[in-house]
């Protein structure tokens, strides 16, 4: 092998690439803008690894194997090098040069752009995480998220695994800068290992940074969570649902973070309808003990039941109360309160009047005579008929306090249409922009608007109760609640 050449501007590298401009430099890697003479001078990005030293055979084998694995990946939102090789002991990779830039200085992004980023980068992450075996990205941060000329977000495939990057830093004698700001808390534990969940945590840190312009916990990452720090909230103008989504990504427990696929579904819903799901995993309470019911069938079923009830009531009224008294007496065996009329001989009178059933007693039923009818108009008006046995609608007492209303919303023994009518009286307790902070099992569940929280309670299974912990009143509107803290207690 000949002597190793030093890359320089307008120099030729590997006989095919004219180096035009150095984009970044370092002992571990250099990035150049170049022209590919094998493709009619097409502009490319040329990345050179450890260009100023000669790597040992073992390091070259590891790098070669990694690049071969990466070459098998294909996804529209993954930025993958198109070529890899080794020239005079210098490993290099080539990627098309596009009109693109990273998101390192892009904050703050509008909420719709955040949703598009989640959709596209999340789909790329989901693709990596579902490979066999799964391929954690390990280096999720705004520097590795690219916005191309068409406005699409691309995730740059990591150039080096953590193991190989450590090896190259040792070989070049340069300190390894740890990405603490994006590291999940489990990576600081006794058995640190990258996983799909640690990628989701890093994505959550990136999203928080792209909304606020700052990294959470002053750049200390999951280490702060390990020491008891709280998960921050993204404030206005971003929606509470987006804040809940990002906070879910930052959950200390990797098992409780959403998957990439869940994030993509939520973001796609926003892109289609212009709002987040109000009943999604992040729109409402995310505690495992809260189970949501699909209510899309409820109103049609209620309408059908009401129609059947109306028809049944109409039929009952017609056949029971409009039928002749004789038929009613014959069918039911009910003795009426009509006064007893003694038998008379004047059959002309009897035949000319409608028949009235007489009680079946020895007094007025004689074997030798037929029962005679009497004219109701000539008799004293009959006593009042017994009240019809119509179904009685139960009365549901209206609560007299806010806590009573909130607990009543959880009571499925009260019809949904009754509880839904309580929105107006509940709203009178609050100011227009009031916020409800909810907790469960001493863990924060999220912050919600009044109408949103009512939707939560109406869609929650029974078996829970509400306790009001703290109330802050509006200073400008007397008696109106501005903030309220509530605890949802799960009944075992």
Tens of pLDDT, residues 232-263: 999 889 998 999 999 999 999 999 999 999 99
The range of the structural domain enclosing residue 357 comes to 323-361+370-378
**Domain assignment of residue 296, yes or no:** no
Is residue 86 domain-shared with residue 181, that is, in the same domain?
no
**Domain assignment of residue 111, yes or no:** yes
Domain total in the chain: 4
**Domain assignment of residue 297, yes or no:** no
Is residue 24 domain-shared with residue 141, that is, in the same domain?
no
Mean pLDDT is highest, among 2-6, 92-96, 187-191, 207-211, for 207-211
**Domain assignment of residue 291, yes or no:** no
Which strands form 481-490's sheet, in the order they lie side by side? Answer: 443-448, 430-440, 481-490, 464-473
Three-class DSSP category at 289: coil
Among residues 78, 26, 64, the alpha carbon closest in space to that of 48 is found at 26
Is residue 209 domain-shared with residue 252, that is, in the same domain?
yes
Give the pair of three-digit tokens for residue 328. 């009613």
Is residue 348 domain-shared with residue 430, that is, in the same domain?
no
Strand partners, 102: 146
Mean pLDDT is highest, among 153-157, 255-259, 365-369, for 255-259
Is residue 223 domain-shared with residue 84, that is, in the same domain?
no
Residue with the two structure tokens 């649902």: 241
Q: Name the pTM for this structure.
A: 0.56
pLDDT score, position 251: 94
Three-class DSSP category at 412: coil
Q: Give yes or no for residue 185 having a pLDDT over 80.
A: yes
Higher per-residue confidence, 461 vs 333 = 461
Q: Give yes or no for residue 351 having a pLDDT over 80.
A: no
* Spatial separation of the C-alpha atoms in residues 21 and 75, rounded to whole Å: 29
Is residue 147 domain-shared with residue 261, that is, in the same domain?
yes
* Spatial separation of the C-alpha atoms in residues 263 and 243, rounded to whole Å: 13
Is residue 146 domain-shared with residue 55, that is, in the same domain?
no
Encode 200-214: b = buried (16+ Cβ within 10 Å), e = exposed.
bbbbbbbbbbbbbee
């Amino acid at each position: 092998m000949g002597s190793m050449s030093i890359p320089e501007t307008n120099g030729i590298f590997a006989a095919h690439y004219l180096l035009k401009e150095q984009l970044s430099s370092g002992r571990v890697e250099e990035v150049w803008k170049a022209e590919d003479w094998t493709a009619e001078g097409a502009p490319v990005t040329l990345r050179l690894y450890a260009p100023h030293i000669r790597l040992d055979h073992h390091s070259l084998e590891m790098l070669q194997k990694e690049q071969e694995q990466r070459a098998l990946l294909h996804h529209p939102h993954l930025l993958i090098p198109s070529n890899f090789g080794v020239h005079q002991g210098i490993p290099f990779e080539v990627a098309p040069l596009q009109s693109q830039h990273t998101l390192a200085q892009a904050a703050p992004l509008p909420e719709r752009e955040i949703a598009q980023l989640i959709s596209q980068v999340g789909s790329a992450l989901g693709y990596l995480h579902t490979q066999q075996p799964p391929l954690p990205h390990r280096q999720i941060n705004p520097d590795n998220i690219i916005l191309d000329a068409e406005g699409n977000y691309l995730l740059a495939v990591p150039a080096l695994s953590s193991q190989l990057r450590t090896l190259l830093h040792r070989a070049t004698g340069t300190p390894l800068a740890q990405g603490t700001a994006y590291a999940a808390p489990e990576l600081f534990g006794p058995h640190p290992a990258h996983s799909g969940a640690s990628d989701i945590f890093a994505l959550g840190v990136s999203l928080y940074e792209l909304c606020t312009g700052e990294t959470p916990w002053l750049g200390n990452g999951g280490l702060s969570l390990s020491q008891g720090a709280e998960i921050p909230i993204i404030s206005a103008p971003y929606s509470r649902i987006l804040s809940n989504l990002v906070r879910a990504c930052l959950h200390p427990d990797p098992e409780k973070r959403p998957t990439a696929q869940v994030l993509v579904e939520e973001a796609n819903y926003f892109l289609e309808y212009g709002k987040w799901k109000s009943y999604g995993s992040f729109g409402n309470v995310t505690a495992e003990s809260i189970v949501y019911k699909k209510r899309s069938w409820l109103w049609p079923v209620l309408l059908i039941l009401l129609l059947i009830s109306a028809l049944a009531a109409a039929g009952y009224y017609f056949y029971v109360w409009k039928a002749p008294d004789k038929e009613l007496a014959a069918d039911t065996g009910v003795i009426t309160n009509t006064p007893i009329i003694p038998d008379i001989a004047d059959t002309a009178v009897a035949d000319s009047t409608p028949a009235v059933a007489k009680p079946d007693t020895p007094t007025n039923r004689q074997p030798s005579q037929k029962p005679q009818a009497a004219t109701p108009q000539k008799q004293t008006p009959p006593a009042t008929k017994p009240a019809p046995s119509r179904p009685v609608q139960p009365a549901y007492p209206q609560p007299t306090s806010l806590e009573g209303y909130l607990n009543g919303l959880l009571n499925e023994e009260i019809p949904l249409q009754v509880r839904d009518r309580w929105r107006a009286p509940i709203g009178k307790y609050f100011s227009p922009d009031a916020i409800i902070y909810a907790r469960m099992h001493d863990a924060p569940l999220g912050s919600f608007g009044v109408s949103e929280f009512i939707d939560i309670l109406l869609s929650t299974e029974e078996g829970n109760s509400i306790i009001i912990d703290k109330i802050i009143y509006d200073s400008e509107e007397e008696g109106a609640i501005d903030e309220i803290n509530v605890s949802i207690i799960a009944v075992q």
